[in-house]
Each structure stands twice: as C-alpha cells, then as structure tokens.
Chains A and B, each alone.
Chain A
Amino acid sequence: MSSYSVTEPGKRTKWVAGTLVILYAIITLIPLAWIMLTGFKSPSDAISYPPKVIFEPTLEGYVNLFTTRTRQTPEFLAANPPETWYEEIVRDYDMVIAGPSKFGERFLNSVIIGFGSTFLSIVLGTLAAYAFSRFKIPFADDLLFFILSTRMMPPIAVAIPIFLMYRQLGLSDTHLGMILLYTAVNISLAVWLLKGFIDEIPLEYEEAALIDGYTRFQAFYKVVLPQAATGIASTAIFCLIFAWNEYAFAVLLTSGTAQTAPPFIPTIIGVGGLDWPAVAAGATIFLLPVMIFTILLRKHLLRGITFGAVRK
C-alpha cells in the first residue's frame, strides 16, 4: 500500500470514471464495428430492416471490391463451370468475373504516394529542424511561423493555382505531383515536431563528437540522428496518416493514374445503386492498417498529437 495521497482518486471515483469512459469508447466503436460487419454481409443482408447483427457471413463484398463482373447467358454459365471459390460466389448472380477492378491499383497508389511523401517530408523536415534547432538562422522565429501558417490555408484555396500549375508542368494526375504536394503540406508539421525532438538532445553530445574530429555532417548523422530516431518515427507516422487520409487534393488533382483510395472508395457502384458491402469492404481494408498502427504505437502517437500543441 502506498501512503495516503490527496491527489490519488478514491476507489469509487475510479470505478465510476472507468465505467463512463468505457461506455463512451463502446459508443465510439459501434460505427466502426458496423462498417466492418457490413463488409461480410450479402447485399440483401446489408440493407435489411431491422439491421441484422447476426447473419451468414460471405466474402461477396470483398470479391466485388476487387473484381469487375459481367452478366452471362445461362448457356454460357452451364458450359463454363466455376473454377475458383470467388467465381462460385459471383455465379449466384449469373455473372462471371471479367477482370480485376481498379481498387488494387488505387490502393497501391495510396501506398506509393503515402510512403513517398512521408520519406521526403522526413528527410527535408529533419534537415530543416536540425538547422533551426542548432544554428543561428536570421529571422528563425518568423520563418518557423511562416512554415506553420502555410497549414492554415484551406486546401481548396491552394488547389486552384496548383491545378493550373500542374496542368502546365504536366504534373496533374502523376505520382510525383501528389508526392510533392503532400510533402509540402506535411513538412510544416514535420519541422515543428522534429525541432521539438532535436531540441531535447543535449548539445554536449555533438560538441564531444566535433572535438573528436567529426565534421558537422558526421556529427549530424552519427550522433543526432540515432538520438532522434523515436521522434523521427512518430513524426513519420503522422505524415503517413495525413497522406493516407487526404481527400480534397486527391479528388481535384487526380482522376486515374495517380488516384488514391479515398476518392475511389465512395464511387464503388454495384448493380442497382451503391454496393454497400463492397464499399464497406474497401473502407475496412483501407482503415484497418491505420487502426492497428494506432493501437500498437499508442504511446508515441498520443504523445505526438499533443506535442505540437502543448510545446508552444
């Protein structure tokens, strides 16, 4: 038993607080759980009334998400028996699989653009943050504020000239264009967060390294970088999540080749209106990595969210 403390809440208080928070957490989870369930429903189960909690699970939504299908005549279907389990699923609707859908491609675009822009933001952000943290830069405060203020602009406002600029430079609907754009948006956050982390590394380490004959560059990547690794990693996750989730620029500046998943998922159309199970399947595949990431890395993430805010 620890000694009595006035700031340690009583047992009953803890119990009440815990119950209320858990209750809220469960309410928060319901929509997410529902969308994941819907992904495993058949289209008729998905739109049944009252909403079905217990149903026969099917992978139809997932098959529809990844394929395009065409309706065929009974003769054709009889002559070509289904060869795979996913062929079998679509046969229930007198259809055959015509080919892969665009979802795989769009998902891959999200991965390429997400990781590409995160990598670039981190490289540029770390260099800039180090310089702001360690060197005397004229007007450093103004520059830092300028870097931060670029985040206040509504994306649509910047999108007009970027749209025109990209059209001229041939960057519309390209991976490179989107990577550069997301880097530009993310870099302000990256510089601010990373500067905080690098500020915490004692200056003595580098000074010792410099005296030992290291150059500035060597001191930077042999001493500072390893020390800042955790900070760099959690900043990277923030940049990745932003790029992964972004919609406004993606919908305005991409239409095909470089389109990411967020503008694509809402457009998945089935026979006779929106194919909700397929949309739900797409949402699940797209959102699940972020959720798992968040739970696994909660310590660093939760610190990072408030870090930028509380630091100033």
Chain B
Amino acid sequence: MTDTPLTKAAKATPPGVARKIKGLSDRAIAWIFVGPTLFLLLAINIFPLIWTIRLSFTDFKANRNREVEWIGLRNYERILTDSDIWLNMQATAHFLFWTIFFQVLIGFTLAYLINKKFKGNDLWTTIIVLPMMLSPAVVGNFWKFLYQPQIGLFNYIVGFFTGKDPSSFEMLGSVQLAPWSIVIVDTWMWTPFVMLICLAGLRSIPDYIYEAAEVDRASKLRQFFTITIPMILPFLMLAVLFRGIENFKMFDLVVQLTGGGPGSTTELTSINLKREAFEKWRTGYASAYAIILFVTVFGLASIYVKALNNVKER
C-alpha cells in the first residue's frame, strides 16, 4: 500500500475528525432518511393503486379461481351508464352539501364567539372538540341507539320540544329522514374541526387592522364584512376542502348508523363500493368504480385548490 497524501492526512488527524471524513455525505443521509418512508408509501399506496387500475380492465372476481379476462373499458362503461350509481352519487352530494353547509355555519359562529375571549373559553373549546376525536364507527353505533324510535333519547328530546309522539317517526327507518339523520351526526362530530380552523384564522387577523378601521369610523358591521369575512375566507375554504375530501370518502360512520338504508337512500358511494368489492366480489368492476371515485375527488380537489389560491392572492 502506498501512502497517498490523503491517507497520510487521515493518519495524522485525530480519530474524531477522521470519522467525520469517512462519514456519509449529506446526500446519502438524506436518501437514507427519506427512503423508508417512500418505500412504504410506494408499497402500500402506489403499488395498490396501480394494481387497482390494472384490475379495473378485467372481470376478475377475488373469490373465484378462474381465468381472468381483459374486457377493456367495459367496467367503466357499465358504471357510468348505471342509474343506481347516479343515485348513490346524489346521496353523496346531498350528504356533502348539507354537512358542509351546517358545519361552516355553526363552526364559524362558534369560532367567532370563542374569539370574544370570555373566561374559560379554552376549556369549553376542548369540550366541543371531543366528538371529532372519537372513533366514527363507535360513534355511529351509539347514535343508532339514540335514534331508536321507541326508546331513543333523540326522539324523546324532539318529542319533548315539538309535542310529537316519539314513536311516530323513525330517523333511520324513514326514506325522508334517514339522509338527514346522517347529516346531523356528521355535523355534531365535525363542526369542531371547522371551528378550530376558523379560530386559527380569526386569531391570525392582526389587531391593528381593526384599530385602523376604528380610526376611520367604520361601523362594527362594516368591519365584519370588509375585514373579518375576507380575511377568514381562505381558512374557511380550506376547511371546506378538508371536510369535502373526508366526507367524500365517508364510510365508517354511516355504515354503522344506517348501513346504507333504508333501501339505498343513504348508500354513499363508499358504502356502495364496499358492497360491490367485498360482498358481491365483483373485484374488477369495483376497481373501476374506485378509480372513478379517486379521479373525481382528485379532479374536484385540484380545481378547488386553484380557486383557493386565487382567493389567497387577492
């Protein structure tokens, strides 16, 4: 072995420094640190997605062991022309629209009130937040108990305030009421999320803007519409985006609450998808369905994010 200047230098330097020279480059460390995460996401998110795309062009059934045939776009064709699926889409749209409407309305109002900084507001905020921390399936299950026509607390309270007979209506059993029953529970559960985001938004508005408005003799009402609302709008829109994506995927709460019934009045797309994939075992068909849903969420979300960025830039 010949002594190169480098090895000479290495021998001459104390061990601590030598280790540093031998140590990995920053770039290697970066990849070692990011690698496992990317690998896991590729293995359990991206690879399955690609597999789903592949299955969506076949007539594969996961509970049978027979030759799989390529059937091209036939699954997609069948889904997009199926009127039942459009009914599920409508149920989902109804659920999405009204949950977001009520959550934004109540959530913003609560945030506005909490921002008045009354005494003990953080404790009460925490209590309001409790439902969103809980397991949606378990929540759905116990709301089913509250909604029981004869014995349920919900019917009793409604009856108490309206004078209606508590056994005269069924929240979960009636075609008219069932879609509202899931809206009520979701609103109870997720309003706090919108509230917290609005609260963060309200707290981010600097005081001096209001002080300046006060100097200009702007009325409180005017301040609300020209300062508070425009400043909070990006936050509200973000809250809507998050709730929209989450509720489009909604499964656990509703499946426990109504199971999609009565008939298919509350059969949201996710529940319908589960039925096709894991009860009827039409794997190929369900895969195509899954891809259509994913593309829908992704497409709507991207358009929405563009709109959101426009609002932010204004």
Contact = CB atoms under 8 A, between A and B. Distances in A.
Whether chain B is bound by chain A comes out as yes
Interface of A: 5-9, 13-15, 17-18, 20-22, 24-25, 28-32, 34-35, 38, 46-51, 124-125, 127-128, 130-132, 135-137, 143, 146-147, 149-150, 152-165, 180-181, 183-184, 187-188, 191, 213, 215-217, 241, 244-248, 251-252, 261-263, 265-266, 276, 279-280, 283, 286-287, 290-291, 293-295, 298-299, 301-302, 305-306, 309-310, 312
B314 to A, nearest CB: 17
B29 A131 contact: yes
Given A31-B142, A160-B283, A21 B40 contact: no
B303 interface: no
Contacts, number: 302
Given A34-B146, A294-B129, A286 B45 contact: no
B286 A283 contact: no
B143 A31 contact: yes
B84 interface: no
Interface in B269-308: 270, 273-274, 277-278, 283, 286-287, 290-291, 293-294, 297-298, 301
B297 to A, nearest CB: 6
28 contacts: A21-B124, A21-B125, A24-B106, A32-B131, A47-B148, A47-B151, A51-B151, A127-B32, A127-B34, A128-B37, A147-B37, A150-B41, A154-B273, A156-B290, A157-B293, A157-B294, A158-B45, A160-B48, A184-B41, A184-B43, A216-B26, A247-B137, A262-B135, A262-B138, A283-B138, A302-B126, A310-B235, A310-B238
B199 interface: yes
Contacts of A241: 133
A173 to B, nearest CB: 14
Given A28-B130, A245-B136, A7 B40 contact: no
A137 B270 contact: no
* Chain A binding surface, main DSSP class: helix
Contacts of A143: 34, 38
A50 B156 contact: yes
Contacts of B117: 8-9, 14
A21 B127 CA distance: 10
B141 interface: yes
B7 interface: no
Contacts of A291: 130, 133-134
Contacts of B150: 47, 49
Contacts of A124: 36-37, 40
Contacts of B297: 152, 154
Contacts of B153: 30-31, 34, 51
A114 to B, nearest CB: 11
B66 interface: no
Looking at A137, A154, A216, the one whose CB has the most chain B CB atoms below 10 A away is A154
B143 A14 contact: no
A161 B142 contact: no
In the A-B complex, the 5 residue pairs with the smallest Cβ-Cβ separation, listed nearest first, are A157-B290, A18-B118, A247-B137, A184-B44, A161-B48
Interface in B218-248: 235, 238-239, 242, 245, 248
B4 interface: no
B24 interface: yes
B44 A6 contact: no
Nearest to B134: A287
Interface in B81-134: 106, 110, 113-114, 116-131, 133-134
Given A155-B251, A161-B48, A305-B196, A15 B129 contact: no
Given A31-B146, A131-B29, A213-B16, A180 B278 contact: no
Contacts of A286: 135, 138
B17 to A, nearest CB: 7
Contacts of B31: 131
